Amino acid sequence: MVASGFGPDGHTFYAASRDGTVGRWVLGRYVMGAFTKAAYGAVLSPDGRRTAASADDGQIRIWDTGTQDHMVTIRRERDVAVAVRFSPDGRTLAASHTDGRVRLWDPDTGRLLREADSDAGRTDQQGHRYPSTLRFSPDGSVLAFSTTVADLRAGPRTGDTRRAIVRWDLRTGRLLPDLPAVDQFIEGFGFGSGGRELVAAYTDAPVTGSTVRVWGVGDGRLLAERALPRPVYDLVTSADGRRAVMARDDRSLELWDVASRRSVAQVPTGLAPRVRSLTLAPDGRLVAIGAVGDPLVHLLDLRTGQPVATLDRHQDQLTGMGFGPGGRVLVSAADDSAVVTWQLDPAVAVRQLCSALAGPRLVEQWRAVSPLLGDPPCDPVSPPGR
């Protein structure tokens, strides 16, 4: 670090390093903001030690979550990674690219491990397919991703599209037959029942209602189907695969028991009708929500239905979020190009800020954050642990 200090708002602490990067802290938050264009999403590795994100500038970047040091950059000049996801063991980073391929990268070196062409094996070569959302099965043996393909059967100018979920068997390297393509939007999906099932939400076009379908992962067989009277804009499943959470257009979340295929609760959110990003903490209790046109991260306790916190300072709507182990850290990305890590454990957040501000002016700078905080709970001369 070569220079540091508070910004004019009195709430933001800036630190410049010799490599030219600038970090910004707000109590409990660090902005990695390395991209020059909109960030598409951010995820944490299963152990929480690494943060990965992609952006519209064609880069995938990986940081050390604890130190915020930049580790690896993967550059693609002719295509963009619209989504990234760590494998359950953390040894692989999957990315869906706009050239129609899904690639597996080594997160330690940035080396390409293997790739799959989402158009391979198709019998209806009617336009190019674009992969997007990625999900690993709990054991890491299957990677599922949603795709969009132009439907040219009715003529090249119709603009119609069809969507499907593709399964990649990583043990054999084969793409399994697509789940049936539909003219609905695939709003979200996840693995359920210990990885044996895929639960997916499909919304009608034009938007009138939605359908939840449960598929067998191994054979692609349709196991259950339920029509919903209201549109759903995102769906995620819990880490244990027992529950699905759906964001409805009536400003509520619907909790679904995967085994019984039944709704078990409805939780009002009071947020904008359309949710753009939804993620569950590993224990399934805390959910982070990002809505269209809303730069705030909203944390909600699903057991009590009560809001826990609202995290601010993104300048544009969110594009993706992810929890770390234990739900103690959250990472978020937005159209403002910023990638942000949120320390949700107050004690750890205070220790980090003490370390960043340590010096003769610690007391003065600490009080500048807010007079309500009182004196800093750390040594004004040297940071904790030195």
pLDDT band at 378; cut points 50, 70, 90: confident
Alpha helices in the chain (DSSP H): 346-357, 362-369
Largest CA distance in the chain: 73
Q: What is the mean pLDDT of residues 273-279?
A: 85
pLDDT > 90: percent of the chain: 50
pLDDT band at 312; cut points 50, 70, 90: confident
> What whole-number distance in Å separates Cα of residue 355 and Cα of residue 379?
9
Q: Does this model's pTM top 0.85? A: no
Residue 371's φ and ψ, nearest 5 degrees, are: -65, -15
Task: Give, to the nearest 10 degrees, the angle between helix 362-369 and helix 346-357.
Answer: 130
Helix (H) or strand (E) holding 72: strand 70-75
> What whole-number distance in Å separates Cα of residue 160 and Cα of residue 279?
30
Read off the pLDDT of residues 234-250 as tens digits, 9 standing for 90 and up.
999 999 999 999 999 99
Listed residue (115, 106, 104, 133) closest to 50, CA to CA: 106
pLDDT at residue 14 tops 90: no
Read off the pLDDT of residues 50-107 as tens digits, 9 standing for 90 and up.
999 998 888 999 999 888 888 999 998 788 999 999 999 999 999 999 888 999 999 9
Cα 330 to Cα 34, 43, 44, 111, 293: the distances in Å are 18, 9, 8, 26, 20
Question: Does residue 193 come out as left (phi exceeding 0), alpha (psi in the -120 to 50 range) or beta?
Answer: left
Domains of the chain, by residue range, sit at 1-31+345-386, 36-183
For 197-261, the DSSP string reads EEEEEEE-SSSS-EEEEEEETTT--EEEEEEESS-EEEEEE-TTSSEEEEEETTTEEEEEETTTT
Q: State the fold for domain 36-183.
A: Methylamine Dehydrogenase; Chain H (2.130.10)
> What whole-number distance in Å separates Cα of residue 132 and Cα of residue 160?
18
pLDDT at residue 10 tops 70: no
> Cβ(282)–Cβ(249) under 8 Å?
no
